[in-house]
Structure 1
Amino acid sequence: MLTIRPEKLPLKPGDCVLDLGCGEGRHTLGLYFSAPLGELSGQLSLIGIDISAIDLATANKRKTDFPLPESQRAGIQFVRGDGLKLPLPDASVDHLICSEVLEHIPDYHAMLREINRVLKPGGTLCVSVPRAWPERICWWLEPRYHQVAGGHIRIFNRASLKRDLRSHGIQLFFEHGAHALHAPYWWLKCLFWDRGDRFWPVQVYHRFLVWDLFRAPWLTRSLDKLLNPLLGKSIVIYGVKGPGAQ
């Protein structure tokens, strides 16, 4: 399940793509296994960086789930690292994905500066964060939602986030919503927080999301597309590193 749209990244053979805060490798592996990219997927250098050794171990295991032809095997590596001090040289990354990460970071401006350091001039940045109003409902329904260790510590306003990105020299060119059908799931989780994930309304909706992920029927894909501009759980913003960005 990808939050970003890979077609918005001007990928070309030999490009280095960094998935910062990759978790279990959702976007890194999404590009690695991406059928629409064809043989291009095997001509990329993919790097996933995360602070969690457990998540990285899962990501490494998953990259062997579906054997690929030699021509489609990208260079892929998962590295443990701190997003505030990335283990990469200056101007070494062509495209950088930072999906659902900034809301966890106390000094996210420091992370944006580090992103600018490793991103090449003219490189593409894709950032996603939770949309403000669905997130506020989660915080209102259950305060513990954002009090768990490593949880969300802020709610981003889209306009202010875009200003912040521009202040760091990122020239924005596209945005969209994502995962509209997931917002009600998180509301249910918060509403029935003490009952846990196995409480039947939460479990039933989760099964629906898994079914939708694998089946991708026309009706739910159309509904998701229709609702994403307003209800999308995430907002996704794309930009290019301009000259003099810092």
Structure 2
Amino acid sequence: MLTVDFDRLGVGAGSSLIDVGCGAGRHSFEAFRRGADVVAFDQDVAELNNVDAILQAMQEQGEAPASAKAEAVKGDALDLPYDDGTFDFVIASEILEHVPQDEAAIDELVRVLKPGGRLAVTVPRWLPEKVCWALSDEYHANEGGHIRIYRADELEGKVTARGMRFDHRHHAHALHSPFWWLKCAVGVDKPDNPLVTTYHKMLVWDMMSRPWVTRNAESLLNPLIGKSVALYFEKPANSPSSAA
């Protein structure tokens, strides 16, 4: 389930991409399929081991072009171990809401991006997230949980303040918002609740089968209750490699 629109981002063969806070690797896998040289970057060793195993399997089974390279790297998003202007593309999907020093993290995202390169940042959308917080403290008040709710304009301003040019915004995963509202209402520690399990089965069916009825419904609902907001930026070609 991708949050970033790779066609809009423009990832292709021969490009370099870092997926900061890659988690289970969904965006890293898509970039690798498209022929990019990928760094799947995270601080969670267990997740990275799984991501690395899948990347290797993809290469062995020919699911990525032979020319593409991929590696899983452990590290801190506040101190990326790469030179200024290393990557053509940077993705940070659903991580900034977890990071106390979010502006320092944004500095790093911008710093490692090449002039002329593109950045995609996604975070939980303000309204669906507010509903979750209102319904459940457990949803966010835990170790490593969400520590802030962004308004899209606020996040856009934080990125453009570092010399980036805003390009586009869209919303995604509207069908997931009611699922999380249900989980928060019944208790996030109660995954076996019948309402939650029934809705989850529908989401799995949607992701696996992609029927027109749910795809059209989500497309119509995304502007209203999309669970995530995705923002796209470009680093001006005449920009210095390091963040301001």
What does residue 127 of structure 2 align with?
133
Unaligned segments of structure 1, at least 5 residues: 34-40
Two-structure CA RMSD over aligned residues (Å): 1.6
Residue of 105, 116, 125 corresponding to 1:122:
116
TM-score in terms of structure 1 length = 0.92
- Asked if 1:239 corresponds to 2:233, the answer is yes
Are the aligned partners of 2:91 and 2:121 in contact in 1 as well (CA < 8 Å)?
yes
Deviations 1:52-84 (A, max 9, x none): 001111212233555226735621111001000
Deviation at 1:12, TM superposition (A): 4.1
Q: Which runs of 4+ in 1 moved over 4 A?
A: none
Deviation at 1:108, TM superposition (A): 0.6
What does residue 50 of structure 1 align with?
42
Measured in 2, the distance between the counterparts of 1:15 and 1:32 equals 10
Q: Which moved more, 1:9-18 or 1:122-131?
A: 9-18
Instruction: Please list, as runs of the form range in 1=range in 2, the aligned pairs for 1:91-170 lying within 5 A after superposition.
Output: 91-170=85-164
- Asked if 1:62 corresponds to 2:54, the answer is yes
Deviations 1:158-200 (A, max 9, x none): 1111111111111011110000000011111111116511111
What does residue 20 of structure 2 align with?
20
What does residue 84 of structure 2 align with?
90
Select the structure that is richer in helix: 1
- The total of aligned residue pairs comes to 238
Amino acid at match of 1:2: L
TM-score in terms of structure 2 length = 0.93
Residue of 164, 184, 206 corresponding to 2:178:
184
Amino acid at match of 1:21: G
Amino acid at match of 1:52: D
Are the aligned partners of 2:173 and 2:226 in contact in 1 as well (CA < 8 Å)?
yes
Change (3 A) 1:28 1:196: same
Q: SS in structure 2 opposite 1:180?
A: coil
Are the aligned partners of 1:32 and 1:73 in contact in 2 as well (CA < 8 Å)?
no
Amino acid at match of 1:142: S
Deviations 1:84-123 (A, max 9, x none): 0011111100000100010000011001111121111111
Are the aligned partners of 2:88 and 2:117 in contact in 1 as well (CA < 8 Å)?
yes
